[in-house]
Chains A and B, each alone.
Chain A
Amino acid sequence: MRRLTLSLLTFVASCAMVTSTSCTEPVAPAEGEGEGEGEGEGEGEGEGEGEGEGEGEGEEPLPPPPFAISTKGAVAWKRQRALESDLMTALVLAKGEVCNELGQFSCIDFVHQVPLGGNDPFVKSQYEPLAIPTVTTPIAVERVVLSACVARVTKDIDAAPVVFTTLDLGASAVSDEEADATITALFRRLLMRDPEAHELAELRGLTDDEGTAVPPRDFAIASCFAIGTMVEGLFY
């Protein structure tokens, strides 16, 4: 519910930040289910043959939400330093562990600094940061979050786990109980709140891939990435 609400609140911002599973179009909850969340794709009229998938002819307008939403629609962009700081805190990583290109160039302070909302006044003479996210911002955000998630999972495999304490990272599958505990911990660490029932249900689906159980390592990375790139965590 909270994610849905903020997605509506951040209509303009979320339009600029549509990215994979983490930034889905908000949809209203189905009646009787209370809360909803989904990909928001319109129904397509298939024209493909064989295995081809049909192209949609446009999305249906979103139904109005069942509660009051902001008409102000103005949120702020969580820029590179807060993004980095939050990932460091959430995943218990040192500054140099969050994301480095080629293993040595900081994603935050150098390589992706500008699309992440920072500026370099000293060398690039960029005296003000971008006012709004660019088309490459979602890519950079996903790059950083994925890097941080992989770093944490790797450390938790190599030594006593710090974040993924409720997963057996050496096992072959993830139980529902393990998944729920992990998702809950990640929500608290990355979004600073508890997950809601529909969110648990949706993310629990990451434990298998078309009926095949995925290793706990992959589930850990995927759930960390999905939660860490949700719109509500990137705007405030």
Chain B
Amino acid sequence: MRLTLLPIALVLLSTSALARPTGPRLYCAHYEDTPACRGAVVSCTQCHTAPPELNAYGGSIASALSGDYDEVLPAALAAVEGEDSDNDGLSNLEELVLGTRPGDAQSFFVAPAAPSGPENPAFSVGTYDDAFAYRRLTIAYCGRSPTYDERQTFAAAADKAQARHNALNACLDSTYWQTEGLARLADKRIRPLQAINVDGVIPLADYSWDYRLFVHALSDDRDARDLLTATYHVGPDGARVSGVIPGNGGDQVGGQPSAVDKRAGMITTQWFLMVHTMFSELPRTTAAQAYRAYLGQDIARSEGLLPTDGEPKDIDNKGVDDQDTCVYCHSTLDPLAYAFAYYNGIGGGGGNGAFRQNRPSWQPSAVEAMILDVPLQNVQTRGVVDWAQQAASSPLFAQTMASMFLTHAVGRAPRPDELDELSALADGFMDPAVDNYRAERLLHRLIDTDAFGVP
């Protein structure tokens, strides 16, 4: 009898936990082609100031709701499209299409008028300007301005587009791009700290491995998905090396402890696991950083929330199962983190960052690891390998790469009138017939965009 009752009790528990923030999924099912959902999971801040508090747009929707939330939300969304909830002069629907926030009066966009007047003698304002783009790409990817002679040569080139792409090729091979330009894009993803680097005051790992892999995967004609799926490392000489790499100090410090079948690019290096997991049994920070760095979803900003029913289980007794507060993030974060629990942070058998099948104190069957609504099997033997593969093949990864490069190239976040070009960059990045995940191919398309080349 007791065996019979247990499954029933679990079902009841699961049902009671359905009071979840299902809003993001429903929202994007309704508005899948809007910028907030294109290659992204809409942030809770679209409707909330901080969940569960509503912003003006969320308040409008709430007032239009009557009945079961999941059933009536689409109708409520449609009902308030014509309103201007935040009184910024744009209707809610106009803001959704533009990609601005309909609940934030400070978030709006009015497309600039076309330039008017006699021809500008120095710039092709309002249309693609070859010379402007040439200078911009040289500074962005060569780390210097074109010289006077180079500008003269470019001005005389019969095929300006070809000249631009030739210049880009040269820049992408330059010492600047290979050693500094790309590395600066890695900083917030690797989050180095010299004091605990292998040559620091308290040596715990070596982030040089991370920088080398980042640059390697995004240069030449390599597959950028290796950022998440590489089973190899890159040695100081630039060559790939595989397998366990011994460290010099205790806890294998400075080496790479993961075997090939437990490797997953940037998110299983000794540095990444050490600096984010540290002593956590359930490495929520590690998972959140991987989600933020490579899928562009910052859970701390209520982004990328895809709650799992029955979560959070608070498997490590940290008190994260409060239904009024913690549930909004931890119902996504905890399932995201389970796969990382099989890797050491600091210390543990095998050294910093080593895979250990018996590391978690809970039974593997007690939890279900998830990413992007996909359940992960056998994480106790495969670690985060499947997590990384799901991540690398998702549109979120492509969107993150495209956004990273476009933001770097123009020196600011893409504006609403540039989001279509951003989406096209991301789509082409995934397309085997276009970029096939090659970063340098994406950059060649990027410098042809209006966002880059129209002054």
Name A's B-contacting residues (CB within 8 A).
Answer: 1-2, 5-6, 9, 64-78, 81-82, 85-86, 89, 119, 121-123, 125, 127-129, 131, 188-189, 192-193, 233, 236
Q: Are the CB atoms of B139 and A67 closer together than 8 Å?
A: no
Q: In chain A, what residue has the closest Cβ to B146?
A: A192
Closest 6 CB pairs of A and B: A76-B411, A71-B112, A127-B188, A85-B144, A121-B187, A68-B117
Say if the beta carbon of B365 comes within 8 Å of chain A.
no
Say if the beta carbon of B432 comes within 8 Å of chain A.
no
Q: Are the CB atoms of A192 and B118 closer together than 8 Å?
A: no
Once the chains are docked, how many angstroms separate the CA of A192 from the CA of B113? Answer: 31
- Return chain B residues, CB-CB under 8 Å to A82: 139, 143-145
Q: Are the CB atoms of A119 and B187 closer together than 8 Å?
A: yes
A-B contact pairs, 27 of them (CB 8 A): A5-B122, A9-B123, A66-B117, A67-B120, A68-B117, A68-B120, A69-B115, A70-B120, A70-B126, A71-B114, A72-B125, A73-B112, A75-B411, A76-B136, A81-B176, A82-B144, A89-B144, A119-B184, A119-B187, A121-B191, A189-B148, A192-B146, A192-B151, A236-B132, A236-B135, A236-B136, A236-B145
- Return chain B residues, CB-CB under 8 Å to A72: 112, 125-126, 454-455
Minimum distance in angstroms from A123 CB to a CB of chain B: 5
- Return chain A residues, CB-CB under 8 Å to B74: none
Name B's A-contacting residues (CB within 8 A).
Answer: 112-123, 125-126, 132, 135-136, 139-140, 143-148, 150-151, 176, 180, 184, 187-188, 190-194, 197, 410-412, 415, 454-455
Minimum distance in angstroms from B5 CB to a CB of chain A: 52
Once the chains are docked, how many angstroms separate the CA of A73 from the CA of B125? Answer: 10
With A5-B120, A128-B187, A236-B135 as known contacts, state yes or no: A70 contacts B145, CB within 8 Å.
no
Q: Are the CB atoms of A70 and B187 closer together than 8 Å?
A: no
Minimum distance in angstroms from A156 CB to a CB of chain B: 19
Cross-chain pair count, CB within 8 angstroms: 118
- Return chain B residues, CB-CB under 8 Å to A73: 112
Once the chains are docked, how many angstroms separate the CA of A121 from the CA of B189? Answer: 11
Q: In chain A, what residue has the closest Cβ to B144?
A: A85
Once the chains are docked, how many angstroms separate the CA of A192 from the CA of B112? Answer: 30
- Return chain A residues, CB-CB under 8 Å to B118: 66-68
- Return chain A residues, CB-CB under 8 Å to B144: 82, 85-86, 89
With A9-B455, A86-B145 as known contacts, state yes or no: A69 contacts B122, CB within 8 Å.
no
Give which listed residue, A1, A127, A189, contacts B122 with CB less than 8 A. A1
Once the chains are docked, how many angstroms separate the CA of A122 from the CA of B188? Answer: 11
Q: In chain B, what residue has the closest Cβ to A66?
A: B118
Minimum distance in angstroms from B408 CB to a CB of chain A: 9
Once the chains are docked, how many angstroms separate the CA of A89 from the CA of B146? Answer: 10
Most buried by A among B117, B135, B145: B145
Minimum distance in angstroms from B181 CB to a CB of chain A: 8
Give which listed residue, B117, B143, B411, contacts A85 with CB less than 8 A. B143
Q: Are the CB atoms of B115 and A76 closer together than 8 Å?
A: no
- Return chain B residues, CB-CB under 8 Å to A6: 122-123
Q: In chain A, what residue has the closest Cβ to B118?
A: A67
Minimum distance in angstroms from B447 CB to a CB of chain A: 13
Minimum distance in angstroms from B389 CB to a CB of chain A: 27
Minimum distance in angstroms from B392 CB to a CB of chain A: 23
Q: In chain B, what residue has the closest Cβ to A131?
A: B412
- Return chain A residues, CB-CB under 8 Å to B192: 121-122
Minimum distance in angstroms from B125 CB to a CB of chain A: 4
Minimum distance in angstroms from A182 CB to a CB of chain B: 15
- Return chain A residues, CB-CB under 8 Å to B132: 236
Once the chains are docked, how many angstroms separate the CA of A71 from the CA of B412? Answer: 17
Using A82-B143, A127-B191 as known contacts, list a sample of 20 further A-B pairs with CB atoms less than 8 Å apart, ordered by residue number in A.
A1-B122, A5-B122, A6-B122, A65-B117, A66-B118, A68-B115, A68-B126, A69-B115, A70-B125, A71-B113, A72-B125, A76-B136, A76-B410, A77-B411, A85-B143, A119-B184, A122-B197, A123-B194, A128-B187, A128-B188
- Return chain A residues, CB-CB under 8 Å to B113: 71
With A65-B117, A81-B143, A127-B191 as known contacts, state yes or no: A74 contacts B180, CB within 8 Å.
no
- Return chain A residues, CB-CB under 8 Å to B455: 9, 70, 72, 75
Q: Are the CB atoms of A122 and B194 closer together than 8 Å?
A: yes
- Return chain A residues, CB-CB under 8 Å to B454: 72
Minimum distance in angstroms from B421 CB to a CB of chain A: 13
Once the chains are docked, how many angstroms separate the CA of A6 from the CA of B125? Answer: 11
Q: In chain A, what residue has the closest Cβ to B408?
A: A76
Once the chains are docked, how many angstroms separate the CA of A71 from the CA of B110? Answer: 12
Once the chains are docked, how many angstroms separate the CA of A72 from the CA of B123? Answer: 12
With A81-B180, A82-B143, A236-B139 as known contacts, state yes or no: A74 contacts B187, CB within 8 Å.
no
Minimum distance in angstroms from B200 CB to a CB of chain A: 9
Minimum distance in angstroms from B182 CB to a CB of chain A: 13
Give which listed residue, A67, A131, A193, contacts B148 with CB less than 8 A. A193
- Return chain B residues, CB-CB under 8 Å to A65: 117
Q: In chain B, what residue has the closest Cβ to A123?
A: B194
Minimum distance in angstroms from B59 CB to a CB of chain A: 31
Q: In chain B, what residue has the closest Cβ to A88?
A: B144
- Return chain A residues, CB-CB under 8 Å to B191: 121, 125, 127
Once the chains are docked, how many angstroms separate the CA of A7 from the CA of B150? Answer: 23
Q: Are the CB atoms of A192 and B193 closer together than 8 Å?
A: no
Q: In chain A, what residue has the closest Cβ to B410?
A: A76
Minimum distance in angstroms from B55 CB to a CB of chain A: 24
Once the chains are docked, how many angstroms separate the CA of A176 from the CA of B238? Answer: 55
Q: In chain A, what residue has the closest Cβ to B185?
A: A128
Once the chains are docked, how many angstroms separate the CA of A66 from the CA of B119? Answer: 9
